[in-house]
Structure 1
């Protein structure tokens, strides 16, 4: 392990730029729940186990049409959770390294930690759009507060409305089977990231907490490091790198960042 950490630290310290590709494991050390598998999800949300509902079933835009109180109960609770969660110290270290960010997370933790340039490929819970949608408008959810009954996980008060047509609003998050998601803001950030990558040839990619179940982040990390092989994959469960093209660190995100920072100085 020490040899792998030394090699990873060398890659980071010698690179011109650092690209962080972060999955859900990045937030676990901040206290955010791990939705890995039905068991992990139900441990975080026991009411859904009683209802027999898995994460994939709840993260479906159809509920905003058929049962808005159920849909906003889930997303309203998550919005409040993410607002109350403080990013762990690893975020600070990455910011000091001047890292650019690509993430599948919708929690806004990188922005809360002070990052200016974050490409959120699946959108953000901190922004809203119309359920229909009536326009391509996406707006901040800063003033949105959803009351949720913790026993049933259903929204109990007024639901967020579209600021254009007055109909129901929903989070600007790419859900499963989602044909109504407005991906404009995400695409704009992805285009800016692509431009940044073209301007920085000597990039090291630090992949943090990205699993294989939804491989979006892994594919981005492997693509961005394809030319150089400068990939550091941090994952306690699935750390393997293909064809030896990178460094494998079977650790949690905070532990790995802390060890790398100690070596880099």
Structure 2
């Protein structure tokens, strides 16, 4: 792993006119954001993360699901954007950068970036489970509790649900359409900190390359798309992006 920038990547970044960045969990790892299953600590250890993140769990006991998600939101809120997030925000001030993320955190936004698409939703965009009306900001938990009744929707009175996409739910068409458009129209795609195995996000680098873009993977480890990109740089977001994007 190294922060030394390959000259070909520096040239690509400087010449890009329509860059797109696709980010996954590795983008936020250096901020200390707990992974999906790392949030299973303390009283949550006896719960299965995948089971909690499902329509069935919500229908069975929404108070348990809401409590877990508000605890996760509190963990994320205490984290801070890392040097990689900040480098992307600064790059976005100089070029027509579009960010597509698989992450449900808000670290890109807190660093100063505008996110084109949150493919898997956001912990900080809860909505009514009945009518879909956005709920607005809700203060996350600072201490875990096993049950917490969801607040009622101001419009219809239905329970407010987390804004993250659950297992078994279809991907929201709006963000997905934006992501596909980004892939088709970019001239450079940086794929950062994603495993490359979760679809449809894993297909975006392939689509970008087929549409004429150069695709670069920035990840300390091999992934499911390493064989399908133009360049691979084995480094982390926090180390590599500041070095790559500093003029």
TM-score band, normalised by the shorter chain? 0.7 to 0.9
Structure 1 alignment gaps of length 5 or more: 36-40
Relative to structure 1, the CA distance from residue 260 to residue 137 in structure 2 (aligned partners, 3 Å threshold; closer, same or farther) is same
- Match of 1:125, SS state, is coil
Query: What are the residue-to-residue correspondences of 1:55-134 with 2, within 5 Å?
Result: 55-98=49-92, 99-131=97-129, 133=130
Q: Normalising to structure 2: TM-score of the pair?
A: 0.83
Distance apart, 1:28 and its partner CA: 0.6
Q: Normalising to structure 1: TM-score of the pair?
A: 0.78
Relative to structure 1, the CA distance from residue 261 to residue 205 in structure 2 (aligned partners, 3 Å threshold; closer, same or farther) is same
Partners of 1:59 and 1:175 within 8 A in 2: yes
* 2:240 paired with 1:259: no
Partners of 2:34 and 2:75 within 8 A in 1: no
Partners of 1:20 and 1:100 within 8 A in 2: yes
Q: Distance in 2 between matches of 1:217 and 1:61?
A: 22
Relative to structure 1, the CA distance from residue 247 to residue 195 in structure 2 (aligned partners, 3 Å threshold; closer, same or farther) is closer
Relative to structure 1, the CA distance from residue 123 to residue 190 in structure 2 (aligned partners, 3 Å threshold; closer, same or farther) is same
Q: Distance in 2 between matches of 1:120 and 1:107?
A: 9
Q: Which residue of 1 aligns with 2:19?
A: 18
Distance apart, 1:118 and its partner CA: 2.4
Cα-to-partner distance string for 1:37-57 (whole Å, 9 max, x where unaligned):
xxxx257624333x1x33212
* Number of residues of Structure 1 aligned to a counterpart in Structure 2: 241
Q: Which residue of 1 aligns with 2:43?
A: 47
After superposition, the CA RMSD in angstroms is 2.8
Q: Distance in 1 between matches of 2:169 and 2:196?
A: 21
Query: What are the residue-to-residue correspondences of 1:218-257 with 2, within 5 Å?
Result: 218-228=202-212, 230-239=214-223, 241-243=226-228, 245-257=229-241
Distance apart, 1:12 and its partner CA: 1.3
Q: Distance in 2 between matches of 1:106 and 1:167?
A: 23
Cα-to-partner distance string for 1:161-185 (whole Å, 9 max, x where unaligned):
2222212110122100126x8x3xx
- Match of 1:126, SS state, is coil
Q: Distance in 2 between matches of 1:6 and 1:126?
A: 38
Distance apart, 1:21 and its partner CA: 0.3
Q: Which residue of 2 aligns with 1:166?
A: 157
Q: Distance in 1 between matches of 2:3 and 2:11?
A: 12
Distance apart, 1:196 and its partner CA: 6.1
Higher strand share: 1
Distance apart, 1:208 and its partner CA: 0.7
Structure 2 alignment gaps of length 5 or more: none
Runs of 4+ in structure 1 off by over 6 angstroms are 1-4
Partners of 2:101 and 2:115 within 8 A in 1: no
- Match of 1:155, SS state, is coil
Relative to structure 1, the CA distance from residue 138 to residue 123 in structure 2 (aligned partners, 3 Å threshold; closer, same or farther) is same
